[in-house]
Amino acid sequence: MIAQVVLRDCVWQTNKIYDYLVPEQLQEKIREGQYVRVLFGKGNRAEVALVLNLKETSDSKYQLKTIDSLVEEEPVLNQEQLEILKFVVKRYACTYGSAMHQMVPALVTKRTGRSQLVVSLVSEELAREALESEAVGSIQQIRALEWLLDVEEMTLADLMQELSISRSPIDTLAKNGLVKIRSVKFTAEELQNKEKTEEELPEAIRSDITLNDEQQAAVDEVVNTEGKKEFLLFGVTGSGKTEVYLRITEQILKEGGSVLYLVPEISLTPQTVARIRAHFPTGIAVLHSRMTAKERYDSWKMIQRGEVNIVVGARSAVFAPIHNLKLIILDEEHDSSFKADTMLRYSARDVARFRANKAGIKLLLGSATPSVETFYAAKLGYIRLLTLKNRAVSGAVLPKVDIVDMQEEHAATNTSMFSRKLYKAMKDALSRGEQVMLLLNRRGFSQNVYCTSCRSMIRCPDCDVPMTLHTKTMGRHKLLICHYCGKVIPKPDTCPYCSSEYLAVRGDGVQKLEDWSSEDFPNARVIRMDQDTTSYRGAHEKILTAFRNHEADILVGTQMIAKGHDFPKVSVVGILGADSVLWQSDYRARERAFQLLAQISGRAGRGEVPGHVFIQTLSPDSEIYSFAATQDYERFFESEIKYREQLSYPPFKAIGGIMITHENEQACAMQANMVAGTFREMAANLGDDMMILGPCPAGIPRLMNRYRYQIVVRAKNKGMLSDGFAKLQQAYAGYGYSISTDIDAMW
């Protein structure tokens, strides 16, 4: 018997399927999807490999080696997942190793053979002291300490992945005696015997809602459709989409099937889970990135053993080994968090579509503001459109939206961040005991320090992007933070370039908005939510819960407050600085701006109180604002699809990207030129009208001490890009270049 295997820790040169002989004593036990030990290559290196396939004979012309042993009897991937693995490798032009890394939780991989490194605090006091003093040199170190104060310990790999940091800040913390890194060998028993800690859940809102006609029609349509089919539940915010998902889920469970329910990471709050648990008290597993490695492992094992029939999770849950899956729900399908921008740039929507198709089951997408691609597919009839036109709560209507021309405000010598209209509306709402939400699409003070003498902005020495001033202090100094790489320096007293003392602060940000709100409305309680206040586990839920419980009157935040939260007492929403989204240099800018505005407008007037939204802008005539003001998705779509077609943007053509990074700028430029040249030759042979632009420095030209060059590729479709990128990676296997590719690039 022959086993076809792929190496777990492969690089591009070894990204191949290898034939091995199955020894006599393993013939009975060997299964597809198992991890096995093999001796590999000339040096007979011991490697862990995955059995992809078993067969009787081999076509290999080499003398075959024999499999050494099983790592464990239980397969890590089932048949369905093996199919997904092959799909991911082909579609995203990645190695088997990186796909496996995504699909199998770290602990399952790690404990097979090796022990792993675990990071923990030396002591809590030391950590707190260090955070108070000037002892911690970078935001990565600060975040690592804050995180560990919260979770106590975590594997090194998970911590790095979680915080998107390299190993070096953690090593620095260890060197300074703040954390310890130790090697732990987890045994299967230790992992399995962990007592289940019941999640503390807020009181669930169990309701006995009678569906309205639109909702019922949507439920019936999905439930009564036989076999595989894709649906788009297109319903304005507050139209009761969640109720529809729950009813359909109920029906599937009754028939003995399982449901995978995917939501954006940020909407995966305890409230969301509680709402689902209220309907289905047992048989639910949750998977998301803020769980510790052990928690994730436990959930995954429960799913693998078939102990649950509902899996609720963020992006990566699309890979979960669910038994008897009959339906995949993907809520807020337009959300950019379904697209991974880490090593493997996959789209959970794509993978879900593949999975549903392959398994012959239903896929239900939902959104108030569907992505242009999805809605286009619905228009063409590939996806069945289910529409909810009305808000579900009787009496609740869409909010009134005012577009306020800020140029006029300035002309009328109003220098406040609030237009007169917004100010008055806030005042009235607060006096009636209602709540207000304010959104600004920038972080921190988003204040930059610049020199009035030489007119330079203080930039990150590593990344060359302007650094941002924060109110967080280091000793007596305010801090400047680079939001790309996280470098922190104390705000200097003089210009680093010309030594002038005349440094000025420019720009407005969420913190400033918080200050303005407190000043203008001294009796109101103001609470802020942005990435700086939500970096530790659970922070984000605490803020939202406090606001929902009316412990604050005004919620100030970045776009993260726009997503899927339900606040019945919010009657006024102010959107400041919407223009910055519209001005992004990306073909998706208009789509993003519309989605953001429509979603945040949808926050107002969800309960009994009617809502009023104010969009403050410098370009009040932009059609995007009027589409958003009327929440008119279809008109937006009609305009947008014409624009996309004219310029050959997706969904008419695919746009992909190749990124080359290097520590040295010249080397980076040179490699990028080589790669672009190679790819141009390949494209000519592929015989398609591929267009290759660049190379040129990327939008962020330098990140984490590495220079970045990008090549933009337009092709007929994503499949062409997948094939081309795989050939490109093969051609450069062994060169030591750092090349990453993306079949659906976003900038």
Write down the least CB distance from residue 260 to ligand ADP, Å. 18
Q: If 0-12 CB within 10 Å is exposed, 13-18 middle and 19+ buried, where does residue 720 land?
A: buried
Verify binding: residue 131, ligand ADP, rule CB under 6 A. no
Verify binding: residue 463, Zn ion, rule CB under 5 A. yes
Instruction: For residue 665, count other CB atoms closer than 10 A to its CB.
Output: 15
Tokens 């995978």 found at: 260
Write down the least CB distance from residue 274 to ligand ADP, Å. 13
From 198-206, 354-362, 443-451, 531-539, span contacting Zn ion (CB under 5 A): 443-451
Verify binding: residue 225, Zn ion, rule CB under 5 A. no
Verify binding: residue 271, ligand ADP, rule CB under 6 A. no
Write down the least CB distance from residue 473 to Zn ion, Å. 20
Q: If 0-12 CB within 10 Å is exposed, 13-18 middle and 19+ buried, where does residue 452 land?
A: exposed
**Which listed option, Zn ion, ligand ADP, none, makes contact with residue 463 (CB within 5 to 8 Å by class)?**
Zn ion
**Contact by Cβ (8 Å): 392, 238:** yes
Size of the site for ligand ADP (CB under 6 A): 17
Q: If 0-12 CB within 10 Å is exposed, 13-18 middle and 19+ buried, where does residue 486 land?
A: buried
Write down the least CB distance from residue 493 to Zn ion, Å. 12
Write down the least CB distance from residue 251 to ligand ADP, Å. 16
Verify binding: residue 238, ligand ADP, rule CB under 6 A. yes
**Contact by Cβ (8 Å): 453, 500:** yes
Question: How far apart are alpha carbons 50 and 264 in whole angstroms?
Answer: 31
**Contact by Cβ (8 Å): 685, 407:** no
Phi then psi for residue 532, to 5 deg, are: -75, -30
Q: Which two tokens stand for residue 379?
A: 């228009």
Write down the least CB distance from residue 374 to ligand ADP, Å. 16
Verify binding: residue 566, ligand ADP, rule CB under 6 A. yes
Q: Which two tokens stand for residue 177?
A: 């005696």
Verify binding: residue 212, ligand ADP, rule CB under 6 A. yes
Write down the least CB distance from residue 689 to ligand ADP, Å. 42
Write down the least CB distance from residue 388 to ligand ADP, Å. 7
Verify binding: residue 485, Zn ion, rule CB under 5 A. yes
Q: What sign does the CA torsion over 672, 678, 680, 686 have?
A: negative
Per the DSSP assignment, residues forming a β-bridge with 363 are 230, 328
From 113-121, 125-133, 261-269, 459-467, span contacting Zn ion (CB under 5 A): 459-467
From 207-215, 454-462, 514-522, 726-734, span contacting ligand ADP (CB under 6 A): 207-215
Write down the least CB distance from residue 242 to ligand ADP, Å. 3
- Name which of 495 and 526 has its Cβ closer to Zn ion: 495
Among 184, 188, 498, 647, binds Zn ion (CB under 5 A): 498
Verify binding: residue 444, ligand ADP, rule CB under 6 A. no
Verify binding: residue 482, Zn ion, rule CB under 5 A. yes
Among 102, 116, 140, 242, binds ligand ADP (CB under 6 A): 242
Name the strands in the sheet holding 738-742, side by side, starting at the edge strand that comes first in the sequence: 691-703, 706-715, 654-662, 738-742
Write down the least CB distance from residue 301 to ligand ADP, Å. 31
Among 85, 259, 285, 495, binds Zn ion (CB under 5 A): 495
What element of type H or E holds 220? Answer: helix 213-224
**Contact by Cβ (8 Å): 267, 563:** yes
**Which listed option, ligand ADP, Zn ion, none, makes contact with residue 566 (CB within 5 to 8 Å by class)?**
ligand ADP
From 38-46, 101-109, 147-155, 475-483, span contacting Zn ion (CB under 5 A): 475-483
User: What are the distances in angstroms from CA 740 to CA 185, 339, 453, 463?
Assistant: 33, 15, 41, 19
Per DSSP, the residues of 258-313 read EEEEE--GGG--HHHHHHHHHH--SSEEEE-TTS-HHHHHHHHHHHHTT--SEEEE
Phi then psi for residue 225, to 5 deg, are: -80, 130
- Name which of 496 and 538 has its Cβ closer to Zn ion: 496
Write down the least CB distance from residue 528 to ligand ADP, Å. 24
Question: How far apart are alpha carbons 123 and 148 in whole angstroms?
Answer: 10
Among 33, 75, 240, 657, binds ligand ADP (CB under 6 A): 240
**Which listed option, ligand ADP, Zn ion, none, makes contact with residue 497 (CB within 5 to 8 Å by class)?**
Zn ion
Question: How far apart are alpha carbons 474 and 470 in whole angstroms?
Answer: 10
- 611-670 residues near Zn ion, rule: CB under 5 A: none
Residues near Zn ion (CB under 5 A) are: 451, 453-454, 460, 462-463, 482, 484-485, 487, 495, 497-498, 500
Binding footprint of ligand ADP on the chain (CB under 6 A): 207, 209-212, 215, 235, 237-243, 392-393, 566
